[in-house]
Amino acid sequence: MNTISKETRLTLAYIFIAFLFSVAVRMIWAYQFGDVEAFKFNGQFMINTNDGYYYAEGARDIFSKIHQANDLSPIDNATSILTAFFAKILPLSFETIIFYMPIFLSSLIVVPVILIAKSIDNLEMGFIAALLASIANSYYNRTMIGYYDTDMLNIVLPMFLLWSIIWAIKTNENKYLLITALDILLYRWWYAQSYSLEFSFFGLILLFTLVYERKNLYNYKLLAIMMFAMINLDLFIRFPLVLAAFFFFKEERFQKYVYPILAISVVAFFATGGFDPIWHQLKGYVFKDAVSVADTGLKLHFFSVMQTVREAGQIPFSTFADRISGHVLTFILSTLGFVYLAYRHKIMLFALPMIGLGFLASVGGLRFTIYAVPVLAFGVAFLITELSQKIPNAKLRYLSMAAFTLAILYPNIEHVNSYKVPTVFNADEVKVLDKLKTKLDREDYIISWWDYGYPLRYYSDVKTLIDGGKHGGESNFPVSFMLSNPQQISAKMARLDVEYTEKTFKLAEESKDKNLTIFTNIEQMTKDYGFKDTNDFLASLSTDIHLPEKTHDIYFYLPYRMLDIYPTVTAFSYINLMNGEKQAAPFFFISRGFSETQNAIELGSGISLSKKESSIKIGNKSVPVKRFVKTSYDTNMELQKSVQMLDYNGYLNVIYMADYKTFLVIDDKTYNSLYIQLTVLEEYDKTLFEKVIATPHAKVYKLKV
């Protein structure tokens, strides 16, 4: 009894120390930026991930009990619900809660890591692994202070699931049947995309059972109750099914029905479309297509957003290794160590789904590396403990473990110290949105690129057309089209897209036909205006077409920072929707690191602007400059500009934004686009737009049509 008590106390002590270590390391960011007022609003730090504003919006609406139809606020989301709960019970401001939540919830990763190590009687391995896993590059990046997102628990929960599976297989105790199923229910509630990992665990247990323990009835019970927890039905249906299965399996007289129940659970899983989300994820991250094609109607072709999302792109091996273990050498040792660990303790093979999903980063993008972090941490930790055991002197043994542990932690702590991520918006940008909130109604729309969708909804409390979750090619196309076309054409598309979005909401609500086909806005516009070719419809926007009746006010939010992603923005509308052919991208070059010589201004990338001639040199080619524009702000923060027409036959324009120390080299198409005209030049058609707010950070215009 004393031995058990001592082990329990040691386990709790290791968990407590590892948890404090994880929290302390995450506080480095707050220490570094404590005096940076640009990262604060109303005296509180702002969060540093766009998606966080989505959950914050839902939590805010739950807490305030204010919500309207079709505002896309996630009031039923687990993250929002948990946040609202904390906001109600804790004597802290809402902003403080969402900023600090990640460091405490994500640090819970140390609990299952140490408990798993306890299952193989190696607490020291668990403690070392917990220290490394809690701050390894990839895990830290997505769970740092201010990174308010589902990643707070996205690895914690599957690690608890792995722990319960290991103990279930090892002990065959009935309680672990229920714990495993509840883990799955909780994981799915928190993170809807948990299907793939759950299914991988199920498949591995099934394989293990068929190969090694075909006669072990307990394993079939485990598989059945896992499947009931995984079926694609509402939580309030799955939870009673899990409870019923658990109490059924406990009764000795019902043991003969285990196999039929397992068969029923598998049929239910596939019948409810349980595999569909898994296949959808594979298509999105592994079988990525540059162009997505609609399944119905005109079968329009849209540019795929996955081609522009960095976290879904392929990464080099060094980056892959660094993100998982902090250093290439540590990664290699971790991999070899895990192989040795699995050889010595075969129960650890059940962690393979986590490693597999982590290694999917080689084709699916860096976001997946986070899954391999805690499992491979076991590998290097096991090597450290095994090597230390070879040292006969107890004192030297613990000193060696400490030294090796510090060695593997050091590059990760260095990464934390140098990973100075800014907040999503700076204080001046948020002041614009906060001011805008007093001028707008909650039913109004703000149009901007999807990167800013969630923050716009959170700070200005209005509707958006696209955001971090609604950014497929079919949704992005109209907004891209608006931002990259002349004002007269863009204004018409803005009115059309908003009214058709509202019409779609209404149609979906009123329709009793669940199989009703709802076409994309662009396709529906094409058909309603009597065209069979969407290109012809888009061309008609330059004519005097009849627009739908105005039901909502529309505003454009145009931040200066969008300049950096303007080529990406245009990519979504520079495509032939009928056949998917990409159109020639507009010429756009931005330079901030320029230098001046006696005869030219060197803009970088082989591009230079001649001082004596009205030309710009691109490589070995000299191109005439059509116009040179210089902009600056006066003492009242009013934009001033001078425009020099240099060569009417030129096709490139140069804009020098003096206060930003930025040069733009752009063609006529880009120069005449709504974004450049309204944001950079403040040249707006007063019959179409009304200037609402204009600061060096962002411009807001109201649409009049």
Is position 571 within any domain? Answer: no
pLDDT of residue 155: 97
Do 438 and 380 fall within a single domain?
no
Final residue of a structural domain among 418, 435, 450: 418
pLDDT of residue 67: 80
pLDDT of residue 277: 66
Do 70 and 165 fall within a single domain?
yes
Residues 6+ apart with CB under 8 A from 210: none
Do 217 and 165 fall within a single domain?
yes
pLDDT of residue 304: 80
- DSSP notation for 505-520: HHHHHH---TT-----
Do 193 and 46 fall within a single domain?
yes
Do 520 and 667 fall within a single domain?
no
- DSSP notation for 374-442: HHHHHHHHHHHHHHHHT--SHHHHHHHHHHHHHHHHHHHHHHHHH--PPPSS-HHHHHHHHHHHTTS-T
Average pLDDT estimate for 225-248: 93
Is position 691 within any domain? Answer: no
* pLDDT(288) > 90: no
Q: Which two tokens stand for residue 488?
A: 């007269």
| Vertex 369 angle, CA 366 and 372, to 5° | 170
Most confident listed range (303-317, 391-405, 671-685): 671-685
3-class DSSP assignment, residue 327 = coil
Do 553 and 641 fall within a single domain?
no
Do 327 and 370 fall within a single domain?
yes
Least confident of 18-27, 285-294, 613-622, 673-682: 285-294
The number of distinct structural domains making up the chain is: 3
pLDDT band at 476 (very low <50, low <70, confident <90, very high): very high
Average pLDDT estimate for 258-263: 92
pLDDT of residue 1: 46
Is position 403 within any domain? Answer: yes
Is position 567 within any domain? Answer: no
Distance CA(245)–CA(189), nearest Å, equals: 20
Query: Considering only CA atoms, which of 39, 29, 36, 37 is closest in space to residue 426?
Result: 39
Is position 227 within any domain? Answer: yes
Is position 570 within any domain? Answer: no
Is position 136 within any domain? Answer: yes
Query: Considering only CA atoms, which of 432, 446, 458 is closest in space to residue 703?
Result: 446
CATH number of the domain bearing residue 541 = 3.40.1380.40
Give residue 640's identity as a one-letter amino acid code. Q
Average pLDDT estimate for 9-24: 97
Query: Considering only CA atoms, which of 598, 600, 574 is closest in space to residue 586?
Result: 574
Backbone angles phi, psi at 56, to 5 degrees: -65, -40
List beta partners, residue 556.
447, 701
Do 481 and 441 fall within a single domain?
yes
pLDDT of residue 311: 53
Least confident of 191-200, 216-225, 427-436, 689-698: 191-200
Residue % of the chain over a pLDDT of 90: 79
H-helix or E-strand containing 80?
Answer: helix 78-89
- DSSP notation for 59-73: HHHHHHT---TTS--
H-helix or E-strand containing 362?
Answer: helix 361-364
Is position 634 within any domain? Answer: yes
Phi-psi category of residue 42: left, alpha or beta, with phi > 0 → left and psi -120 to 50 → alpha? left
3-class DSSP assignment, residue 702 = strand
Angle at which helix 373-389 crosses helix 123-135, to 10 degrees, equals 140
pLDDT of residue 517: 67
- Provide the residue range defining the domain that includes 676: 585-686+698-703
Do 175 and 295 fall within a single domain?
yes
Do 409 and 439 fall within a single domain?
no
Query: Considering only CA atoms, which of 559, 417, 410, 409 is closest in space to residue 483?
Result: 559
Least confident of 108-117, 363-372, 389-398, 574-583: 363-372
pLDDT of residue 393: 86
H-helix or E-strand containing 571?
Answer: helix 566-571
Do 621 and 521 fall within a single domain?
no
pLDDT band at 29 (very low <50, low <70, confident <90, very high): very high
Average pLDDT, the chain: 92
Average pLDDT estimate for 623-632: 95
pLDDT of residue 362: 67
Do 270 and 163 fall within a single domain?
yes
Is the Cα torsion angle 202, 206, 207, 213 positive or negative in sign?
positive
* pLDDT(296) > 70: no
